Amino acid sequence: MLTENTPVHAFIDALPKVELHVHLVGSASVPTVLELANRHPDGSVPTTEAELDAFYTFRNFTDFANVYLAVSDLVRTPEDVATLVLGAARDLSAQNVRYFELTVTPFSHQRVGMPMPAITEALNDAARRAQSEHGVRLAYIFDIPAENGAEGALGTVEHAVRYAPDALVGFGIGGGEEFRPPNRDAFRDAFARARAAGLRSLPHGGEMTGPETIWECLDHYGAERIGHGINCLADPRLVEVLRERQIPLEVCPTSNVRTGQVPDLASHPLPRLLEEGLFVTLNSDDPPMFDTTLTGEYRVAADVFGLGPAELAGLARNGVTASCLDAVDQKAILDEIDAVTASHTS
């Protein structure tokens, strides 16, 4: 993570932000993961910080997915779920984040024996406490774990439709993109049910596969935003569609490097996405696992890609307008961004 203190870093620190792409399990701080690992020593997650650091060294996305699932298997009680939500709220609040949308994979928790109503109760309680204890508002996105196929799709949408948390706003799909084609109908049906229930379609796509996954999200999931989407650049027609429709992309540069999707930050396509006129938002994905923060991603944009305060403020504004907040709440944060930007650029 970049830590050198510069004037643009001070601007980034002061900038009000929203986070649209962060996962519940992936947001767990190192102390929280160690607490869970020691609480459930029959798991495969190391119980010391040094060993956990090594455990968090990923060679590719498959390696990362295996580590992520191992940590997820430590989340076995509603109390564990609430602990993770509140940890994310604490960490993001400290970065001037006003609102975040937290992706939860409830099917993973169902599989270890947590009933749907108990998971929902924990999520509801944690959302209330995030506001009262940390001053940050959150919403939830439920996502299908693609590797669990039709069973995961059905279990996720059943939970979303029958036992929705109060703050549930969206429905997505994550995990290995290579698992989607054999279960395409199940995933399409799940998205249709979720959208009929009023949830926004917010799937991952184009991270570890090509443009075809993004097309699937647009044409058959009714996608309103795309998680990652960086491989859209391989298809000029797709770039044109994304630009014309102004479909937001949830871009996570450090994540893409750590999981081997791009070789290094300097090679990341973020500058080209901006040059193409695409609607880019900046996000952290699984911050402790990737040794980053949302603030750190803004610092990458400044230090590696050369973005100045006006461009960084533009990314922050994009995050707000791409969010599921209503117009009144969006305006309140946008006004804050404008005020901070004016004070730092006058």
Choose the catalytic residue: 19, 101, 177, 207.
207
- Asked if 296 and 17 touch (Cβ cutoff 8 Å), the reply is no
Residues 6+ apart with CB under 8 A from 48: 34
Cα 105 to Cα 172: distance, rounded to the nearest angstrom: 9
- CB distance 134 to 93 below 8 Å: yes
β-bridge partners, 285: 22
Torsion of CA 239, 240, 241, 244, to 10 degrees: 120
51 part of the active site:
no
For 148, residues 6+ apart whose C-beta sits below 8 A from its C-beta are 107, 155, 175
Q: Tell me, what DSSP letter sits at residue 78? A: H
CB 262 within 8 A of CB 294: no
Q: Which residues neighbour 200 within 8 Å (Cβ) at sequence distance 6 or greater?
A: 169, 170, 171, 224, 225, 324
Burial of residue 59, with CB atoms counted within 10 A of its CB: 0-12 exposed, 13-18 middle, 19 or more buried:
exposed
Q: Check: CB of residue 104 under 8 Å from CB of residue 142.
A: yes
Question: How many other C-beta atoms can be found within 10 angstroms of the C-beta atom of residue 29?
Answer: 15
Q: Alpha-carbon dihedral of residues 259, 265, 269, 271, nearest 10 degrees?
A: 150
CB 279 within 8 A of CB 248: yes
Active site residues: 207
